[in-house]
Amino acid sequence: MSTTTLQENTAPAAPAGGKRIGDVILDIQNISLSFGGVKALTDISFNVREHEIRAIIGPNGAGKSSMLNCINGVYVPQHGSITFRGQKFDHMDSRQVAEMGIARTFQNLALFKGMNVIDNIMTGRNLHMKSNLFMQALRVGPAEREEIRHREFVEHIIDFLEIQAHRKMPVGQLPYGLQKRVDLGRALAMAPQVLLLDEPMAGMNVEEKQDMCRFILDVNDEFGTTVVLIEHDMGVVMDISDRVVVLDYGKKIGDGAPEEVRNNPEVISAYLGTSH
């Protein structure tokens, strides 16, 4: 079975009809992170396989977002290493991470509220722009052709996320659920191999969550994009994840298939048995 990746000039493909989990694409080994005397992460190790949806769960303050921040270079851990496609790093610089093919959404939206949907998603193409800023501003020759190509790519994403009717609207005027969709679109515009999603469904109603679940599954199934997901909704995690790693107070307390994690007594005690 072949898998279509989200690459330049690639429109959404037909469903692949199944999933093939590949080899380890991202390997986290013995990551420890402290802020002064406060330990945010202690000796965390887990891996992510190509084409899977890998969830990270845990109570508030467990270290989930700190873990993503280490992966995409926002934080530099004091100990441990990250290996991406066989290349080992003590830490990863944010721009380097993006150039290597890892995109990130954030729990708190960081969209340009006064810009329209198209232009917000276009910012995700900046790393792929070859023309300098002067040529881009003039929109002549190669710069114009390049912009047309990138805008075509962005239009594919807008169609895929079903936000065609809002493409020229300022993002700040959109409902929260649609703003989250635009945030996902901006990350997809980077054509990532690995997509890091930090609580993509936080603050959504049931219908919006269902839509976002569908888009995440489609990105994973149709484009073959590997997804690392932080999410508090346990129903969502158990339904769409291939494997789950559980953190509590910065330590790993569980790792495995959703059903295995669901039945782990330590996990039940720390997370599943509590209300959030």
In a domain, 209, yes or no: yes
In a domain, 104, yes or no: yes
- The amino acid at residue 182 is V
How does strand 38-49 pair with strand 102-105? unpaired
Domain total in the chain:
1
Please give, one letter per residue, the 3-state secondary structure of 227-270.
Answer: EEEECCCHHHHHHHCCEEEEEECCEEEEEECHHHHHCCHHHHHH
Task: Give the pair of three-digit tokens for residue 243.
Answer: 């494997």
In a domain, 92, yes or no: yes
**What are 76-115's pLDDT values in tens digits?**
999 999 999 999 987 778 888 988 999 999 877 778 888 9
**What are 34-83's pLDDT values in tens digits?**
998 899 999 999 999 999 999 999 988 899 999 999 999 999 999 999 99
Cα gap 116→168, rounded to integer Å:
5
Strand order across the 87-89 sheet: 38-49, 24-35, 79-84, 87-89
Residue in the block written with tokens 């790792």:
255
Domain carrying residue 78: 24-272
What CATH number is associated with residue 238?
A: 3.40.50.300
In a domain, 7, yes or no: no
Closest CA to 191 of 136, 149, 243: 149
Res 3 pLDDT > 50:
no
pLDDT of residue 10: 40
In a domain, 3, yes or no: no
Are the CB atoms for 33 and 45 separated by under 8 Å?
no
In a domain, 19, yes or no: no
Closest CA to 105 of 202, 209, 14: 202
Cα gap 247→227, rounded to integer Å:
18
- Mean pLDDT throughout 242-253? 96
Q: What pTM value is reported for the model?
A: 0.84
**What are 144-161's pLDDT values in tens digits?**
667 778 888 899 999 999
Are the CB atoms for 74 and 261 separated by under 8 Å?
no
In a domain, 12, yes or no: no
In a domain, 10, yes or no: no
Strand, helix or coil for residue 168: coil
pLDDT of residue 137: 52
